[in-house]
Structures are given as C-alpha cells and as structure tokens.
Amino acid sequence: MGARWIAVGLVLFAACAAPEDVDAGAAEDAGLRDASVTDAEVDRDAGRFDAGLFDASAGFDAGADAGFDAGLEPDVDAGADAGLEPGVDAGADAGFDAGRDAGMDAGTDAGSDAGTDAGFDAGADAGFDAGADAGAGPWYDVSPSPSARGRNRAVMAYDSRRGVIVLLGGSNSTTSYGSDLWEYDGAAWTERTFATAPRGRNDAVMAYDEARGVMVLFGGNNSTTAYGSDTWEYDGTSWTERTFATRPRGRFRAAMVYDAHRGVMVLFGGNNSTTAFGSDTWEYDGASWTERTFATPPRGRNDAAMAYDAARRVVVLFGGSNSTTVYGSDTWEYDGAAWTERTLATPPRGRRGAVMAFHASRGAAVLFGGNNSTTAYGSDTWELDATGWRELATSSPPRGRFDATMAYDARRGVLVLFGGNNSTTGYGSDTHEL
C-alpha cells in the first residue's frame, strides 16, 4: 500500500515539474514568447529586443527622414530579416546587434541610394519632394552613345502609349532642313526610317494626341516651302499626311500643345507670309482644324514657349518675340474659352527660343534657357503653377542654350532636354534629364 502511494506521488511530481521546464526552454528558444520565464530573464531579453528593434528603426527612420521614402519599405524588411527575427528566435545579443547594425546601415545606405536613384533618375515623387525646399534637384547629363545627330530648331514630344521620346528634323552643319526621326527610350537613341515621311524642315510644331495615339506635325520651314501648312500624323509605325480644306495659314516658329482634357491640339502664333507675328489660335481634333477667335488674345509673336498644365487644365504661353517686344516676359493662360494674361510678381526675364514642358510629378510647367538681351544663352530653370513663377535652384544645369527641344517622359517621371544652340556648340547633341 505504501509503495503504491509513493509511485503515485512520483508520477504527480513529474507531471507538475516537467511542463515548467519544457515551457521555459521553449520560451527561451522562441525569444520570450511564454510568461513562465522569470522576471529577470524577461527584463534581460526585453532589453535586447528593445535594442535590436528600436536601433534598427532608427536606421530606417534615418533613411526616411533623408527624404528617400522609396527605400523605406524594403529596408524595414531587410532590417527585420537581418536582425530582428534571428535575435528574437535565438534570444542572443549577437542577433540583436546584427539587427541594429544591419537596420541602421541598410536603412540609411539603401534608403539613400534607392531614394536618389528612384527620385532623380526614375522620377519618383519621394525624390522630388525631398528636394523641394532646395529646388528641383540636379540636372543629369545622360547623353547616350550613339546619339541623335546634333541640331537646333527641331521638334520633340513624348509618345505615352509606347513610352518613347520622338525627335524630328531641325538644322545642323550637315542638313539645314532635317527629315530624320529618332526615338529615345531612356537608355538609347534609335533612328527610324520610313518609305513615306514628311519633307525635311525646321521650326515646325509637333505634339502627341493621347486619345488617338498619334504624333501630329504641322508647318515649319524648308527649301521648298518657307511657310509650311501641311499636317502629318505618326502612329509609331508609319507617317500619314492629312489634307483639309480649312487649315491654318502656313507658318514657322509657332507653338502647339495637346489639351488632354478637351482632346484637341492648340496652335498659336508664328511667322508667315501674311503676318510676321501671328496672334491666331487654332484647334485640331483629328477630324478638322478650327480657328478660334477672342476679344483679347495674346499679342502676336513667334519663338514663344508653350505647355499644357494638366493639373489646372490650361495652356500656358510665355515670352517670345514680336515687333514691339523682342524678348517677351508676359504669361498667358488659355482654358478653352478665353485667353487670360496673368500679372505675376517675379516672372522670368523676357526671352525667346526657350523650351517649356509640364512636369507631372512637380505639378508645374518647367521653363529652361532661351535668349535675351542680357544672356544670349540662358541656363536658368523656372517653374510655374497656380501660385506663380519661381526660379529653381538646380545643380549641374546644362550649358545655356536656345532653340533646343524638351519633353516630359511620364513613364520615368523626368524632363528630357536635347540639343540647341550655344556659344560652344552651334548644334548640340547632348541629352539631359531633370
């Protein structure tokens, strides 16, 4: 009888004692997941946990505070995987130290690198937002080899369907009226050839019709026709000439952009045989050209800069030259119903031959370069939004120039500037991105 009770007692003792040892070991191995561990062990390992987690977070925050949100999420995962999980699972100081160091290094370095590359090369919002206080960040000289041949007075626009910049014509030391077409995908320039193509020209206008997926080319100047009035469309495969009974008078040095909200091309001004400095406005919807008349249009001009502000749904016109003002500094906006002059406190210096395009990531029209009485070859960068003009503090700007081309690559979120004329290079072949 006594032996039986002794055996029962041993079994009960084992049943009570064993689970505590098993749970304690499991909690130790699992990184303090069970409450049966002593308070001292909890305090000790909680200290390790805090050191690993919050030091790693500091690393990630360092990357984020630098303005490089693009690198934040991958680095949090990298910090957690490198240090946090091994530290918790093993419960060892080395694991948490590794997590802390990896988090700080990975968060700062990778966040910075990824933010810089994504922000300025790929055009991520985070990169541009980080540099907003100082300006727009740096211009990059990305001139690939081979490149399109150097030129000025060409036309260029972005094909959003195919994700390429399209460059056509212009003048250089070899060809006064170019007819060659090149495409730039962010890595290389590639020349395209066609059985049927527009005659060579300079000082034409071209813009991309997003709704119909075609480039629209109008007018320009060549050895045969001083004031071209022909309309061509390019769909990425071939060119097609469109003929219309009613069309704008032939001209060169006009300005044209695509109004994406209303689905029409807007053409303004330029030179022709009748009017040296045109003030007429025309719209093209793919089916017909229509002249629009207004009580108070902008003064006639050529060599003006024009862009479509997609954020505010207005066409923006700046500067140019006419018989009264050789280097205009006036700003006009067109909403499809009327032209309105904006009187702004600090506009850019008057100029002609500048380039302007809408930068969607910044929500502003960006103006570069041009020619005026003070600076023959401007290298300043400005932007215009609802609040007005402001000059951007950019590093490594391109050499000053006029009669260049510029378009916004929406896929990569960057402005692309090509060619132009300056004191060093009469026919530039350099490619820059902002």
- The three-state secondary structure class of 265 is strand
Taking only the tens place, the pLDDT of each residue in 332-345 is 999 999 999 999 99
Distances (CA, A) of 384 to 166, 307, 335, 342, 356: 25, 10, 16, 11, 10
Confidence of residue 305 (pLDDT cuts 50, 70, 90): very high
Domain boundaries defined on the chain: 38-126, 137-433
Phi, psi of 125 (to 5 degrees): -60, -40
CB count within 10 Å of CB 140 equals: 16
Taking only the tens place, the pLDDT of each residue in 224-238 is 999 999 999 999 999
Domain at 137-433, CATH homologous superfamily: Kelch-type beta propeller (2.120.10.80)
In this prediction, residues 62-72 reach a mean pLDDT of: 34
pLDDT at residue 123 greater than cutoff 70 = no
Task: Of 63-67, 355-359, 417-421, give the lowest mean pLDDT range.
Answer: 63-67
Residue 419's pLDDT is what? 98
Residue 135's pLDDT is what? 62
Residue 157's pLDDT is what? 98
The owner of tokens 């530039």 is 428
Residue 269's pLDDT is what? 98
Helix axes 39-65, 72-79, angle to 10 degrees: 160
Q: How many Å apart are CA 228 and CA 240, to the nearest integer? A: 16
Strand 355-359 versus strand 189-192 pairing type: unpaired
Let me know: does 328 contact 317? Beta carbons within 8 Å. Answer: no
Confidence of residue 150 (pLDDT cuts 50, 70, 90): very high
Taking only the tens place, the pLDDT of each residue in 151-207 is 999 999 999 999 999 999 999 999 999 999 999 999 999 999 999 999 999 999 999
Taking only the tens place, the pLDDT of each residue in 22-41 is 343 333 333 323 333 334 34
Amino acid at the residue 166: V
CB count within 10 Å of CB 105 equals: 16
pTM of the predicted protein model:
0.70
pLDDT at residue 15 greater than cutoff 50 = no
Confidence of residue 137 (pLDDT cuts 50, 70, 90): confident
